[in-house]
Amino acid sequence: MSARAERIYTAAVVIIGNEVLSGRVRDANLPFLARELKALGIRLREARVIADRREAIVEALRALCPRHDYVFTTGGIGPTHDDVTAEAVAAAFGVELVRNPEAVAILERHYGDEINPARLRMANTPAGAELLDNPVSRAPGFRVENCYVLPGVPRILQAIFDGFKHRLAGGAVLASRTVTAELAESLVAEGLAAVQERHPEAEIGSYPHLRRGRFATAVVVRAADPGLLEAASAEVVELLRGLGAEPEVSEGEERTPEGGGES
Amino acid sequence: MSARAERIYTAAVVIIGNEVLSGRVRDANLPFLARELKALGIRLREARVIADRREAIVEALRALCPRHDYVFTTGGIGPTHDDVTAEAVAAAFGVELVRNPEAVAILERHYGDEINPARLRMANTPAGAELLDNPVSRAPGFRVENCYVLPGVPRILQAIFDGFKHRLAGGAVLASRTVTAELAESLVAEGLAAVQERHPEAEIGSYPHLRRGRFATAVVVRAADPGLLEAASAEVVELLRGLGAEPEVSEGEERTPEGGGES
């Protein structure tokens, strides 16, 4: 199977945000990045939510950057005292934090006479950083080696990401198919394990939920190889039919409402 | 200040879920646990979203359990082949995975004649685990040392958590107050840094957003000591008034809509 030999690209996301850890804000950036990376053929392997503290950021980047093709950070690059991401990224990569002349020019052009020391603070980047264009509010994101440093406000993060995503190298897009049936997960489990064993290269996930007040299970099959996706999902359909259900099949990962299942 | 001498209790959350990393599901358990832990006087320091893989779970638990008073895992304790959390927790703590007789009794009582091998799989726990009652769908969560193992379905996780949370020891609840003004964050930054410097024991966060189409900043002051909260937030109000704004003050962490700020 040719798909096996292909290079797999992986990524991690670091969400820098006391406001997420305190429950004040429900993060919206991880769902966005997860979907975008999937479409680019990049596997998101891990995400961390950490505090706005320099040591916490340094530790996360030192753990994740050597391990993945790409690391994306969100948050902490604004003008206030609690924005410590730029200096932490510099520390993690062992370079100086410098005032980036290109960023200064962008901010001066944008703010004109209203430029001030706090706004200029957003021009501080690790030495050698490449700026990432911010078409919304101008203060740029930046990249150091494989680490992409993005703001926390979703609308701005998305605009910046859209501007550079075509430059990210990815592998085969993991295709997926969802097979849903009104059956309790525990009735499907044994047969599903057998399908997974026959197709170790496919990733078969089982997601219980409630549907029209009844137990239902969504089985998501993910595979880089189209033939494998076809074979494994056909076996799942057969399995569910054999258990008396009328499974529904849809392309991609169908979202199910949050609801109570067996676990 | 007596609050300084108090013991601080910390926690981490580990979200076990390929479906969150693929973007299929937007996690709802972290916001719930964040708010609950805050109310209990337990500081949530970090969260990780990891894949349904034994090695990933073992690694996260070995990193986080020695470091925090409590670790909560969500997901991966159902009846299917992709539910590997129980065996991973056993491996992380270096104990055997055993069939828990108390859990078997609960499941047999619940399922009656419809008990099957997949359902009994939900009675497997690390040796020495304490069961956590599940009033919704019966298959229990469990605790090993300081690690609380919970299911991924939000309604069930919440019901189990409600059942044991009174037993969690916490410290002083971090009180908070939100001061909001229609001012760009970068105009507030300099003065805010000075307030933070005068009150290093308070945690002052600045959150830009759009409000009625204009730049606004929510400043959240968090402190364990009520006098400190009062003093620091009064200074923030003065600062914003001095900048010509009419700040609004509310208790707690007021949520702001997702919107575009300066970063």
Residues within 8 A of B (CB atoms), A 90-109 only: none
Q: Report the pLDDT value the prediction gives residue B5, as an integer from 0 to 100.
A: 61
For chain A, say whether B188 makes contact (Cβ under 8 Å): yes
Taking the Cβ of residue A158 and every Cβ of chain B, the question of whether any pair is shorter than 8 Å is answered with no
Task: Give A251's pLDDT tier (boundaries 50, 70, 90).
Answer: very high
Please, which pLDDT band fits residue A208 given cuts at 50, 70 and 90?
confident
- Show residues of chain B in contact with A156, CB under 8 Å: 260-261, 263
Contact B31 A26 (CB under 8 A): yes
Measured CA to CA, the distance from residue B128 to residue B126 in angstroms comes to 6
B26/A25 touch (CB, cutoff 8 Å), yes or no:
no
- Give me the pLDDT at residue A3, please: 47
What string of H, E and C letters represents the secondary structure of chain B? CHHHHCCCEEEEEEEECHHHHCCCCCCCHHHHHHHHHHHCCEEEEEEEEECCCHHHHHHHHHHHCCCCCEEEEECCCCCCCCCCHHHHHHHHHCCCEEECHHHHHHHHHHHHHHCCHHHHHCCEEECCCEEECCCCCCCCEEEECCEEEECCCHHHHHHHHHHHHHHCCCCCCCEEEEEEECCCHHHHHHHHHHHHHHCCCCEEEEEEEEECCEEEEEEEEEECCHHHHHHHHHHHHHHHHHCCCCCEEEECCCCCCCCCCCC
A123 vs B248: CA distance, rounded Å: 31
- Mean pLDDT in residue range A176-190: 94
pLDDT at A213: 78
Q: Using a CB–CB cutoff of 8 Å, tell me whether A207 touches chain B.
A: yes
Q: What's at B245, amino acid-wise?
A: A
Count of CB atoms within 10 A of residue A135's CB?
A: 10
Q: How far apart are the first and last CA of chain A?
A: 35
Say whether A78 and B186 touch across the interface (CB within 8 A): yes
For chains A and B, CB pairs below 8 A equal: 238
User: Quick check: B78 and A190 CB within 8 A?
Assistant: no
Mean pLDDT, residues A224-234? 96
Q: A63: nearest CA in chain B?
A: B63
B-chain CB neighbours of A35 within 8 Å are: 23
Q: How far is it, in rounded angstroms, from Cα B161 to Cα B93?
A: 22
Confidence of residue A214 (pLDDT cuts 50, 70, 90): confident
Taking the CA of residue B114 and the nearest CA in chain A, the distance in Å comes to 9
End-to-end CA distance of chain B: 35
pLDDT at residue A256 greater than cutoff 70: no
CB contact under 8 A, B24 and A255: yes
Q: Do B258 and A23 touch (CB under 8 A)?
A: no
- Span A147-172, average pLDDT: 96
- Percent of chain B predicted with pLDDT > 90: 87
Out of A18, A196, A208, closest to residue B205 by CB = A18
Q: Is 50 exceeded by the pLDDT of residue B259? A: no
Q: Hey, is the C-beta of B3 within 8 angstroms of any chain A C-beta?
A: no
In angstroms, the separation between the Cα of residue A160 and the nearest Cα of chain B is 11
In this complex, the residue of B117, B205, B258 whose CB is nearest that of residue A154 is: B258
| Overall residue count recorded for chain B in this entry | 263
Question: How far apart are the CA of A148 and the nearest CA of chain B, in angstroms?
Answer: 15
Contact A217, A207 (CB under 8 A): yes
B160 in contact with chain A, both atoms CB, cutoff 8 A: no
What number of residues does chain A have? 263
Dihedral angle over CA of A225, A227, A233, A237, nearest 10: 180
State which residue of chain A sits closest to B48, comparing Cα positions: A48
Contacts of B70 in chain A (CB under 8 A): none
Non-local (6+) Cβ contacts of A166 within 8 A are none
ipTM value, please give it: 0.92
8 Å CB contact of B31 and A23: yes
> What is the tens place of the pLDDT at every residue in A101-152?
999 999 999 999 999 999 999 999 999 999 999 999 999 999 999 999 999 9
> Inter-chain contact A47–B49, Cβ cutoff 8 Å?
yes
Smallest Cα–Cα separation from B96: which of B55, B126, B141? B126
Give the strand order in the sheet containing A141-144: A130-132, A141-144, A147-150, A70-74, A9-16, A42-50, B42-50, B9-16, B70-74, B147-150, B141-144, B130-132
Q: Which of A80, A183, A197 to mutate to test the interface with B (most CBs of B within 10 A)?
A: A80
What is the phi/psi pair of residue A206, to 5°?
-120, 125
Which chain B residue shows the shortest CA-CA distance from A153?
A: B260
Structure confidence by residue, pLDDT tens digits, A28-58? 999 999 999 999 999 999 999 999 999 999 9
Measure the CA–CA gap between B222 and B232, rounded to whole angstroms. Answer: 9
What confidence tier does B3 reach under pLDDT thresholds 50, 70, 90? very low
CB B244 within 8 A of CB B191: no
| pLDDT score recorded for residue B261 | 39
pLDDT at B164 over 90: yes
| Residues A24/B206, Cβ–Cβ less than 8 Å | no
Q: Which of A:16-55 have CB within 8 Å of B?
A: 18-28, 30-32, 34-35, 38, 44-52
What's the confidence (pLDDT) of residue B157? 97
Chain A residues touching B118 at Cβ < 8 A: 185-187, 189-190
Q: Average model confidence (pLDDT) for chain B? A: 93
Cβ within 8 Å, pair B22-A34: yes
Q: pLDDT, tens digit, for every residue of B235-251?
A: 999 999 999 999 999 99
